[in-house]
Amino acid sequence: MAVRLCAVLLLAGAAIVTPALADDDIPPVVGGKTYVQHLISTAMARHPGVLSIVVEGPRDAGKEVLVLGSTLGASRVFGKVDAPDTTLGGAVSPDGKRFVVREPFASNSGHRLGTMAISFAYRRGSPTKNLVAIADAISREVARVTLSTKNAVDPYPYDASYGTRTYAQALTERTILRHPELLVMMIHATPPGKPKNVIIGSNIGRIGKIADEDDLRVIDQGSTNLEIGGDNDRFETELPLLDATGKRIGALGLVFNYRDGDDKEAIHRKGLSIRDEVAKAIANNAALFRPSR
């Protein structure tokens, strides 16, 4: 997964680890093309009545509020916000031409990461209840596929050599829909004829990210990684990915909500059940890279 190891406990023969401070190498963001920039651009396409979406919040652990994504122009991304407004709710703009709804920009585990301002065209006296509902839907859609601020400011695409129109991505999206308890699902596999194992299916971007040492332990040795992540509120399990014949072909990363005292073994068993369900739908490694229908 995305973190290094620093402490190990034992659970049913697997390693439970907690994240260290070391971080993965991440490609630079070019031209303001962050993951959240991609998310709000696609949200605009799904909701044609929206004039603009701007996401603001701290980057990494810094306190300075920046533009993290803006449909008004990618050139605004990472620009400083001089007067951050963290209030929520809807209001008519000073010129009376727009209705702006300020929603929380949140992660899929419920952490507020910043603020999302969603603007609509407005005429005096027009109803606004439907606009608030659309803004709320957009906020929820984005949160469902955002793990953290770090994830939000990932470059998009992560690696332009890989895309999302694959069977692996379709399988990921289908599985996430069947299992709303999943925060994250990632399929790691090695493209036919290439030496590096990469993420080829994911609901939080990062398609094309090369496997790190934790991933490779699962891929090459068949180990299992179990990690308490986030603010100790995510249970991350990385399991050997199997095909329908039981052959190990990569790694499957799954993330669940977690609270102190939750039954880790039960969550791990749930992960194994999902892994086995996914395996039945994979004929072989090459099938993961075929174009989706």
**Structure confidence by residue, pLDDT tens digits, 53-80:** 999 999 987 789 999 999 999 999 999 9
Determine the Cα–Cα distance for residues 110 and 93; give it in Å rounded to an integer. 29
Residue ranges in the chain whose pLDDT is less than 70 = 1-24
- The one-letter code for the residue type at 214 is D
Position 24 scores a pLDDT of: 58
Position 4 scores a pLDDT of: 33
Global confidence as pTM: 0.90
Nearest to 257 by CA among 205, 181, 174: 181
What are the beta bridge partners of residue 77? none
Q: Strand locations in the chain, DSSP E?
A: 5-11, 14-19, 50-58, 65-70, 89-92, 98-106, 112-121, 182-189, 198-202, 225-229, 234-242, 248-257
Nearest to 107 by CA among 263, 274, 239, 231: 231
Please, which residues have CB within 8 angstroms of residue 152's CB and are 6 or more apart in sequence? 34, 35, 36, 55, 57, 68, 69, 105, 113, 146
Q: Are strands 89-92 and 65-70 parallel, antiparallel or unpaired?
A: unpaired
Position 6 scores a pLDDT of: 32
User: Treating both helix axes as pointing N-terminal to C-terminal, what angle do 264-279 and 167-178 enclose, rounded to 10 degrees?
Assistant: 140
Sign of the CA dihedral with 190 first, then 191, 195, and 196 last: negative
- Ordered by where they begin, the domains of the chain are 5-25+160-289 (3.30.450), 35-152 (3.30.450.40)
The two structure tokens encoding residue 142: 């984005």
Determine the Cα–Cα distance for residues 97 and 52; give it in Å rounded to an integer. 13
